[in-house]
Amino acid sequence: MSKTIVEQVMAAHLVSGELVSGAEVALKIDHTLTQDATGTLAYLEFEAMGVPRAVPEVAVSYVDHNLLQTDFRNADDHRFLRTMAARYGLYFSPPGNGISHQVHLERFSAPGKTLLGSDSHTPTAGGAGMLAFGAGGLDVALALAGQPFYLIMPEILGVRLAGRFAPWVSAKDVILEVLRRLTVKGGRGKIIEYFGPALRFLSVPERAAIANMGAELGATTSIFPADAQTRKFLALQGREEDFRPLKAHGRPQYAQVLELDLASLEPLIACPSSPDKVVPVKKVSGTPVDQVLIGSCANSSFRDLMVVARTLKGRRLHPRVSLEINPGSLQVLENLALAGGLLPLLSAGARVMPPGCWGCIGMGQAPATGSVSVRTFPRNFPGRSGTKDDQVYLASPETAVAAAVFGEITDPRRLGDYPRIGAPRYFLVNGRSLVPPPPAGEKVEVIRGPNIVAFPQLSPLPDTWRGEVWLKVGDHVTTDDILPAGSQILPLRSNLPEISKYAFTRLDPEFPSRVQGRGEGAVIGGENYGQGSSREHAALAPRYLGVRVKLVKSFARIHLANLINFGILPLTFENPGDYDLLTQGQKLELPNIRQLLLDGADRLPFKVFGEKPWIQGVRVIRFKEKKVYEKEIWVRVDLSTRQRRMLALGGALNLAREG
């Protein structure tokens, strides 16, 4: 029978539901991963479930985000994560060992297995044929406790790759081209399955770079077949026994097929400040550049850094440019050293950091005011770099190194001979950097610092909900807008009362002080609300302040799941034009909401009250002798029975407690 890869892996992991797009399915999870910025909360939630030991075959706690130790807080979190991993049977990847996605690809990826990670770039492992999803920490905590992962079955989009890269064009240009065509919401509700003759020439790290930025398309995940390239990669890692072939059978039915000829691709670049503002490099060439950052979970493999090193051999940086290299993993750094790649970087004037996320999440490396920064990272949302009004461009390692040499954005083909990098004949695999769990974990004491605050009890939904419009925002609001990261705020990821003081402050600096202690409220938004990171704090911190309702034109997938997990009602406009009717300060009512939800209603009446007649035709009512104007609109909820119960009870943990 004809079957896509996605259908095959899903069928082998199906716990409940039918593999029909739009239906809720539950999948068994083989591997989990967390990183430190989402992991602390995920493990506090896991602890609250009272399960004695992690259930999945492989569970790993990585430390890669919060690496700056400006005070005790990040160090306390690292210690908490280390002792927690030992206590509950997880591997621990210490600070300096690398970015979760790169290390997982190297040390654990296995074709045909499922992976759930509390980071939106978890699909990177799709480069090695894993079906890997990004999710909120609570979903990962549930998977750690042995529960399946629920998702709405996406459509499968096929991308057929043909041809071979021209010199100075690489994997990043493929995904930038897909972003140019589909935009940051083009992948929503879709899994991307790659196939075609070009795969013969694409190594696993190159595939991983493409799968990684499927997250920027809003795709549920991306996956590649497992073939000779995959076997070669696993063999280099000393894990050939983990190889299983994986390919589509017969004539698989894709909802849509996109064709891409690698030979016709040219160097591309995403302009500030969205990953889909993609143009050919030549269109912006000549733009002066002050900073170049090479690294991140998208582009910091051995190949990527070796191309940069070979290009820099015998050259110096442009005097205006600060070049920093963030290796993806200790393994990459060790092999770079072994292959003679470190010296050219250092001699050219690059600053080489220990492996980790660094400036990608604003942990240092902020650019100067008004300057241009070219990065090989996956995201360039406004302000994410740590500098207000930043000008961050996203490009391949080839285009980035060209900018470092010439001090301007320029076509890398100007650099002359292209150093094609194959896998080295001898590859160093250092198994000691990952800490396996001890056999008797029960005896380990979990050490918490004063910054680690237990998870709050969330209240159930009232019969009729009343609140106020607390904030109205536009389209494509990111989780960085809802709850910023950066070196000041990231250390508060395990301290909800403190981190809540930053909710929405990018969009309205007064938001937390304006709303706290004023009952419950709603946020009104536009299209693709909550795109970007998987951080559940972007749901939980507003909830902590009293946000119970989000009414928007459309949601991004992971954020939607996080809202439901924390008991925030995710509503969409039946008539998107009603967005214009709502303004901050209006009073709201959702009559009989609890019962309507539990009864399975998918349309709900939503009442809006104002003290002035803000549109024609509002109904006049009297409230305590005062004239009040009322308008009823209709909103939609698209939820499964399980999610409806979760919302009525106030969140997933309350549901887990009820059983």
CB of 72 to ligand MIC, least distance (A): 20
3-state SS, one letter per residue, for 474-502 = CCCCEHHHHCCCHHHHHHHCCCHHHHHHH
Contacts of 488 (CB under 8 A, 6+ apart): none
Q: Specify which residues 27 forms β-bridges with.
A: 14, 149
H or E segment to which residue 558 belongs: helix 557-565
- For residue 272, the minimal CB distance to ligand SF4 (Å) is 17
User: How long, in residues, is the chain?
Assistant: 659
Binding to ligand SF4 by residue 493, rule CB under 6 A?
A: no
Per CB under 6 A, 145 contacts ligand SF4: no
CB of 641 to ligand SF4, least distance (A): 34
Distance of CA 54 to CAs 84, 106, 652, Å? 11, 22, 19
Binding mask 275-314 for ligand SF4 (x = CB under 6 A): ---------------------xx-----------------
Asked if residue 248 binds ligand SF4 (CB under 6 A), the reply is no
The question of whether 533 is a catalytic residue gets the answer: yes
Residue 23: phi and psi, rounded to 5, are: -90, 155
Catalytic member of 533, 537, 559, 644:
533
The separation between CA 400 and the C-alpha centre of its own chain, rounded to angstroms, equals 23
Give all strands of the β-sheet with 91-93 in edge-to-edge order.
91-93, 58-62, 31-34, 114-117, 131-134
- Extract the tokens encoding 222: 């991306």
Give how many residues touch ligand SF4 by CB under 6 A: 12
Q: How far is CA 450 from CA 67, 77, 487, 512, in A?
A: 19, 10, 19, 23
Closest residue by Cα to residue 94 from 133, 63, 120, 140: 63
Could you say which of ligand MIC, ligand SF4, none residue 534 binds, taking C-beta under 5 to 8 angstroms by partner kind?
ligand MIC
Question: 65 catalytic, yes or no?
Answer: yes
The catalytic position among 73, 379, 506, 537 is: 379
Told to judge if 535 belongs to the known catalytic residues of this protein, a careful annotator would answer yes
In a 3-state reduction of DSSP, which class is residue 75? helix
Yes or no: say if 240 and 141 are a contact pair by the CB < 8 Å rule. Answer: no
Q: Select 97 or 410, whichever has its Cβ closest to ligand MIC.
A: 97
Nearer to ligand SF4, 120 or 654 (CB): 120
Asked if 137 is part of the footprint of ligand SF4 (rule: CB under 6 A), the reply reads no
Burial string for 496-522 (b: 16+ CB within 10 Å, else e) reads bebbbbbbbbbebeebbeebeeeebbb
Per the annotation, the verdict on 71 as an active-site residue is no
Quick check: 537 binds ligand SF4 (CB under 6 A)?
Answer: no
Closest approach of ligand SF4 to the CB of residue 174, in Å: 18
Residue 379: active-site member: yes
Rounded to whole angstroms, the Cα distance separating 518 from 584 reads 14
Partner that binds at residue 36, options ligand MIC, ligand SF4, none, CB closer than 5 to 8 Å by kind: none
Judged by phi (left if over 0) then psi (alpha if -120 to 50, else beta), residue 622 lies in beta
> Does residue number 175 form part of the binding site for ligand SF4 (CB under 6 A)?
no
Binding range to ligand SF4, per CB under 6 A, among 216-224, 354-362, 439-447, 570-578? 354-362
DSSP 68: -
- Annotated active-site residue 476? The verdict is no
* CB-nearer residue toward ligand MIC: 484 or 521: 484
Give the shortest CB-69-to-ligand SF4 separation in angstroms.
17
Q: Does 400 bind ligand SF4 (CB under 6 A)?
A: no
Q: How far apart are CA 101 and CA 122, in angstroms?
A: 6
Nearer to ligand SF4, 211 or 608 (CB): 211
Q: Which is nearer to ligand SF4, 272 or 474 (CB)?
A: 272
Q: Smallest Cα–Cα separation from 161: which of 150, 149, 169, 153?
A: 169
Specify the residue, 99 or 292, whose C-beta has the smaller distance to ligand SF4: 99
- Partner whose binding site includes residue 637, from ligand MIC, ligand SF4, none (CB under 5 to 8 Å by kind): none
The encoded tokens of residue 281 equal 């490099």
Report d(CA 17, CA 33) in Å as an integer: 25
Nearer CB in complex with ligand MIC: 381/465: 381
List helix spans (H) across 126-189: 137-144, 171-182
Choose, by CB under 6 A, the member of 360, 409, 489, 496 that binds ligand SF4: 360
Cβ neighbours of 354 (radius 10 Å): 14
Member of 36, 77, 119, 578 binding ligand SF4 (CB under 6 A): 119
> How far apart are CB 208 and ligand MIC at their closest, in Å?
15
What does 9 interact with, of ligand MIC, ligand SF4, none (CB < 5 to 8 A by kind)?
none
CB of 358 to ligand SF4, least distance (A): 8
Which member of 448, 535, 548, 559 is catalytic? 535
Shortest gap between Cβ of 349 and ligand MIC (angstroms)? 28
Residues in 63-102 that interact with ligand SF4 by CB under 6 A: 65, 99
> Which H helix or E strand runs over 11?
helix 5-13
Q: Is 324 in the site for ligand SF4 (CB under 6 A)?
A: no
Report the helix count and the strand count for the chain, using DSSP H and E. 21, 27
Cβ closer to ligand SF4: 158 or 378?
378
- The catalytic residue among 13, 31, 65, 493 is 65
Residue with tokens 């419009």: 469
The reply on whether position 536 binds ligand SF4 by CB under 6 A is: no
What's the CA gap between 198 and 329, in Å, rounded? 27
Beta strands in 80-211 (DSSP E): 91-93, 114-117, 131-134, 149-152, 155-162, 190-195
Residue 46 CB: number of other CB atoms within 10 A? 26
- Taking the complex as a whole, how short is the minimal distance between the CB of residue 182 and ligand SF4, in angstroms? 19
* Contacts for 175 with CB less than 8 Å, ≥ 6 apart: 209, 210, 212, 213, 214, 216
Residue 634: enclosing H or E segment and its boundaries?
A: strand 626-636
| Residue 296 interacts with, from ligand MIC, ligand SF4, none (CB under 5-8 Å by kind) | ligand SF4
Q: Nearer to ligand MIC by C-beta: 361 or 541?
A: 361
For the bound state, the minimum distance from the C-beta of residue 365 to ligand SF4, rounded and expressed in Å, comes to: 11
Q: Which of 36, 76, 77, 119 is catalytic?
A: 119
Q: Which does 535 bind (CB under 5 to 8 A by kind): ligand SF4, ligand MIC, none?
A: ligand MIC
Per CB under 6 A, the list member of 121, 172, 310, 631 interacting with ligand SF4 is: 121
Q: Provide, rounded to whole angstroms, the least separation between the CB of residue 213 and ligand SF4.
A: 9
Q: Which is nearer to ligand SF4, 183 or 385 (CB)?
A: 385
Q: Check binding of 179 to ligand SF4 (CB under 6 A).
A: no
Chain contacts with ligand MIC (rule: CB under 6 A):
37-38, 65, 119-121, 134, 361, 379, 485, 532-535
Report how far residue 379's alpha carbon sits from residue 215's, in angstroms, rounded to the nearest whole number: 10
Binding residues vs ligand SF4 (CB under 6 A): 65, 99, 119, 121, 296-297, 357, 360-361, 377-379
Give the residue numbers annotated as catalytic, written as ranges. Answer: 64-65, 119, 379, 533, 535
